[in-house]
Amino acid sequence: MTTLDSLNEGQKARILDVIGEDAIAMRLMEMGLTDGEEVEHLGCAPLGDPIEFFIRGYRLSLRATEARRVVVERIA
Amino acid sequence: MSVTDSPVTATLRKVAVIGNPNTGKSTLFNALTGMQSRTGNFPGVTVEKKIGRLHLDNRVVDLIDLPGTYSLSPRTPDEMVSVDVLLGRQKDVGEVDAIVCIVDASNLERNLYLVSQVLDLGLPAILVLNMWDVAQARQVSIDVEGLRQRLGMQVIVCEAHRRMGVHELRQAIIHSDTLVAPIRPMPFPEEFYAECGLLKKTLTALGSRKLPFYLIERLLIDVDGHVEIQLAAEHGEGLTSVLKDARARLRESGCRVPIVEAKARYRWAREILDGVASVPRTRVTTRSDRIDRVLTHRFIGLLFFAAVMFLVFQAIYTWSGPLMDVIESGQNIVADLVQASVPVGPLRSLLIDGAIAGVGGVLIFVPQIALLFFFIAILEDCGYMARAAFVMDRLMTKLGLSGKSFVPLMSSFACAIPGVMATRVIENRRDRMVTILVAPLMSCSARLPVYLLMTTAFVPPVMYAGGWVSLREIVLFVMYLVGIFVAIPVAWLLRKTFFKGETPPFVMELPSYKWPSIRIVMARVLDCSKAFVVRAGTLIFATTVLVWAAGYFPADHTAQHQLAAQIELSEIQIAQFYADGNQSAAKQATVELTELLEKQNQISGDLIEASFLGRTGHAIEPFVKPLGWDWKIGVGVIASFPAREVIIATLGTIYSLGGDVAEDDASLTDKLRAAKHPDGTPVFNVAVACSIMVFFALCAQCAATLMVIRRETNSWRWPIFTFAYMTTLAYVGALVTYQVGMLLLT
């Protein structure tokens, strides 16, 4: 299972699922991380975490622990 | 003429403003209301209530600014406030007539999520497409007319920071009574609405008050949300099982609550935008993105961050100095004027040591507040603030906080007051509260005089490393570390007790960089300084006057007043002798004056001992004895409740040097070194000095900070809590320091 935090810089992926139904999962979905969407890994903060992504036309930053909740498949 | 006097005036209309964070909402709000807004708090929560009044064409509208949010699904009481205001359920606001929804035109899809929830409320609404220039830079093209037709609502294009579209929006708000209710999106499948209908009937059967349709939707969607919690408290288990069954039925029919909402609303957003807005298929790299590559770079990014933070810290720590000196000399000038015109007596003392000192004690913080908010406003307005949180998050999560807590905590090393005020950038209530409660532990600049006095007087000037490091410097450095190291377990404990729950997510949008607007920055500086003076100032003033009274009464001041009058007369005489060229008489008179001054200082010391303050000092002596203190230090600590640095003036008075001593005053250090207990042993030694320093490092002897905490948390509970926990820590810390110190000394 590939999750969003395992992407490398510049890699793109398609979202398959967001794990859980708690407040964090809901917040991730509210921000537009829903299944079928395309995400791009833009880079990390200087200390390695959080990670910046490109989704639905904007730049979203997530901690690795949160990105781990998002199941994705890599796009070539 | 005020519009409210006009007979033609229609009833006051209320319009609420809502939008995602980083959409330029507050800039637009200020541009619309021209800074004429009243700020306060919604009762019972930490949410700021900001209401501005709009006058135009004999019409009046109250504009209510709601906190920036990504969604209207209330999970906490704080989030419920916005929903309650919009639904007219917030009693102190009343019915809302229309909603202005501000969106970032360059990021329409995500922003439409909130819009769909706003439209579900059923109120007339205006859509503001703000940041039009950013949208164009990102090659986003929007057919405004098409969007207007699809949404069935008025759409206005804006560039708030350039004031473009502001006039048009103002007109639209003023004439919002002509707006019609928009088309409800109804994004959910039919089964969902059927269940809502059933739930509505069940609630009526349970005897519930009539709920707006939006809240029935929320009740069904938000598992363990605020609406469910509220209603479950009213109706008990019955409702919980009804909800459970309804959600189970929905799941069976393929409508998975709660995740159905995001999918349904984003599907709706995409349908609305299809053919109306076009976003480039590949990501457009703008100048902002290129800047960002450098500023979040592994090395350059950190370096730049450190440089910016150093600049901000320097500003509040050092640059505020000259401004604070101006305020201090202003205070002295006024005090001199009073001295010259008011005869010696309680009134003069009240005016100078109570009232003027009180006003000065409030104004002295304004330079630091103004400077910090000057930088914060620039950093926020240009978009770097979000990056600062991004860069520092990893470090701050180690303390259980988020990157957004860094700037408030760093600022607290200069002064906790602007630091606590700066926590407003933290949207999450738990993170914000924990940051507020540990901010006063950071060693602020007011502690430095106490550290300096104690180290110069009692720490031997030993040098290490070939004269590069002195023991005094090490002690000073350790004192700064004490606060940090105590803050870590305190923050941890707070999160395990009062502010339980999961770590809030760091889901944050990184906005595009732009040039900050001077107008916006200055407005922010004025706003914050004013808020501090008006809303915390009165309480700080009152505390200063109270402590003055405790140090003045009930002693008999006649002898002191006679002496003071004699001194003033003598000063005039000396000036006269010099003017006449009578040097010997002047010298003779100066010798007499010195004697008089010494006598006055002696009497002042005796008077403070006889005052309420002195009596309290004696009364608490048994409690402070284990810390190695005598009653005089006790008095100094109590008297320094309005501000820590006051202890130096108080010690000066008690040790009969007068109140005008500085921390580097040789006579004060000499007096302290020479101070003896009645049995002849010296009062002070290194252990006592360290015990005092540790106490001051950890205590909450700063009325201004406590009053600002009251203001920011909207409750007396938290300043009282802060005072209690910090005083306890300070006492225990000082006790351990002294006892261990004495063991090491003997």
Q: Best mutation site among A17, A18, A31 for testing chain B: the one with the most B CBs within 10 Å?
A: A31
**Is B603 part of any domain?**
no
Whether B266 sits inside 8 A of A32 (CB atoms) is yes
Tell if the CB–CB gap between A46 and B259 is shorter than 8 Å.
no
Does residue B87 sit in the same domain as residue B211? no
Please report the pLDDT score of residue B8 as a whole number.
Answer: 46
Distances (CA, A) of B604 to B440, B613, B659: 32, 13, 9
B437 within a domain of the structure (yes/no): no
pLDDT for res B658: 64
Residues B153 and B224 in one domain: no
Based on the fold, state whether residues B34 and B174 are members of the same structural domain.
Answer: yes
Contact between A57 and B506 using a beta-carbon 8 Å cutoff: no
Q: What's the pLDDT at B274?
A: 93
Are the C-beta atoms of residues A59 and B386 closer than 8 Å to each other?
no
Q: Could you give the 3-state DSSP secondary structure of residue B682?
A: strand
User: Strands B463-464 and B59-65, how do they pair?
Assistant: unpaired
Q: Which of B254, B271, B305 is the last residue of a domain?
A: B254
Domain final residue, candidates B154, B178, B202: B178
User: Is B510 close to A60, i.e. CB distance below 8 A?
Assistant: yes
Chain B, nearest residue to A29 by Cα: B262
Residues B95 and B203 in one domain: no
Indicate yes or no: CB of A28 within 8 angstroms of CB of B299.
no
* Helix extents (H) in B87-165: 108-120, 132-137, 144-151
Q: What angle, 0 to 180 degrees and rounded to 10, lies between the N-to-C axes of helices B448-458 and B471-496?
A: 140
Query: The tokens of B189 are what?
Result: 């499948």
- Select from B65, B66, B125, B60 the least CA-distant residue to B97: B125
Final residue belonging to a domain, choices B178, B207, B233 = B178
Closest CB to A29 among B259, B397, B506: B259
Mean pLDDT of chain B: 86
Q: How many CA atoms, within 13 angstroms, populate the side-chain half-sphere of residue B86?
A: 31
Nearest Cα residue in chain A from B387 = A45
Specify if B37 maps to a domain: yes
Q: Which two tokens stand for residue B42?
A: 């919604």
In this complex, the residue of A45, A57, A66 whose CB is nearest that of residue B279 is A57
* Start-end of H helices in B497-582: 518-535, 537-552, 558-580
Backbone angles phi, psi at B39, to 5 degrees: -115, 150
The half-sphere exposure of B511 on its side-chain side, counting CA atoms within 13 A, is 22
Q: Are the beta carbons of B494 and B276 closer than 8 angstroms?
A: no
- Cβ of A45 and B391 within 8 Å? yes
* CA–CA min distance A6, chain B (Å): 17
pLDDT tens per residue across span B58-86? 889 999 999 889 999 998 888 899 999 99
> What pLDDT is recorded for position B66?
92
Q: Is residue B141 part of a domain?
A: yes
Looking at the structure, do residues B161 and B108 belong to the same domain, yes or no?
yes
Residue B102 is assigned to a structural domain of this protein: yes
Cα(B697)–Cα(B729) distance, rounded to whole angstroms? 10
With contacts defined as CB-CB under 8 Å, which chain A residues touch B397?
A: 49, 63
B224 and B143, same structural domain? Answer: no
| Residue B222 resides in a domain | yes
CB contact under 8 A, B397 and A27: no
Q: What is the DSSP letter of B316?
A: I
Q: Are residues B196 and B169 in the same domain?
A: no
Report the Cα B359 to chain-centroid distance in Å: 20
Question: Mutating which of B73, B251, B394 best tests the A interface, going by the most A Cβ atoms within 10 A?
Answer: B394
Tokens, residue B516: 């900050």
Q: Check A26 against B262: CB less than 8 A apart.
A: yes
Q: Look up residue B22 and give its DSSP letter.
A: T
Question: Does the beta carbon of A75 lie under 8 angstroms from any beta carbon of chain B?
Answer: no
Q: Best interface-test mutation with A: which of B71, B292, B430, B510 has the largest number of A CBs within 10 A?
A: B510
State the alpha helices, DSSP H only, in B23-95: 25-33, 77-86
- Model confidence pLDDT, tens digit, residues B582-620: 888 788 778 888 888 888 777 777 777 888 888 888 888
Backbone phi and psi for residue B256, each to the nearest 5 degrees, phi listed first: -75, 110
Dihedral pair phi/psi, residue B570, rounded to 5°: -60, -40
Chain A residues close to B110, C-beta within 8 Å: 31-32, 56-58
A32 part of contact set with chain B, CB < 8 Å: yes
pLDDT of residue B35: 67
Interface touch B262/A22, C-beta < 8 Å: no
Q: What percent of chain B has pLDDT over 90?
A: 32
pLDDT of residue B10: 55
The Cα-based distances of A58 to B62, B117, B134, B252 in angstroms read 33, 20, 12, 35
- Does residue B82 form part of some domain? yes
pLDDT, greater one: B583 or A25? A25
- Is A52's CB within 8 Å of B510's CB? yes
* pLDDT for position B487: 92
For residue A45, the chain B residues in CB contact (below 8 A) are 296, 301, 390-391, 393-394
**Alpha-carbon torsion B539, B545, B549, B552, what sign?**
positive
Q: Do A66 and B258 touch (CB under 8 A)?
A: no
Torsion sign, CA atoms B159, B160, B164, B166: positive
d(CA B376, CA B68): 18
SS3 B138: coil
Same domain, B90 and B226: no
Residues of A in contact with B508 (CB under 8 A): 50, 60-61
Report yes or no: B686 and B459 within 8 Å, Cβ to Cβ. Answer: yes
If you measure CA to CA, which chain A residue comes closest to B304?
A: A46
Residue B19 domain boundaries? 13-178
Q: Tell me if B507 and A26 make a contact (CB, 8 A cut-off).
A: no
Amino acid letter, B271: E
Burial of B387-419, coded b for 16+ CB within 10 Å and e otherwise, reads: bbbbbbbbebbebbbbbbbbbbbbbbbbbbbbb
Pair (B174, B148) in one structural domain: yes
Which residue in chain A has the smallest CA separation from B294? Answer: A46
Among B653, B589, B585, CA closest to B617: B653
Chain-chain contact of A31 with B507 (C-beta, under 8 angstroms): yes
Mean pLDDT for the stretch of residues A39-49: 90
Q: What are the φ/ψ torsions at residue A14 (nearest 5 degrees)?
A: -110, 135
Residue B333 placed within a domain: no
Residue B127 CB neighbour total at 10 angstroms:
25
| B279 vs A contacts (CB less than 8 Å) | 57
Q: Which residues of chain B have pLDDT under 50?
A: 1-9
pLDDT for the residue B618: 86
The CATH number given to whatever domain includes residue B151 is 3.40.50.300
Taking CB atoms and an 8 Å cutoff, what residues of chain A touch B259?
18, 21, 25-26, 29
Query: What pLDDT is attached to residue B214?
Result: 93
Contact between chains at A61 and B279 (C-beta distance less than 8 A): no
Residue B100 to residue B25: CA distance in whole angstroms: 10
Residue from B111, B266, B300, B502 to probe the interface with A (highest A Cβ count within 10 Å): B266
Taking the whole predicted model, whether its pTM rises above 0.95 is answered as no
B153 and B210 together in one domain: no
Is residue B230 located within the same domain as residue B86? Answer: no
Number of A–B residue contacts, CB under 8 Å: 115
Tell me which of B289, B297, B507 to substitute to probe the interface with A (most A C-beta atoms closer than 10 Å): B507
Count of domains for chain B: 2
Inter-residue contact A4 to A65 (CB < 8 Å): no
Residue B656 is predicted with a pLDDT of 65
Residues B233 and B131 in one domain: no
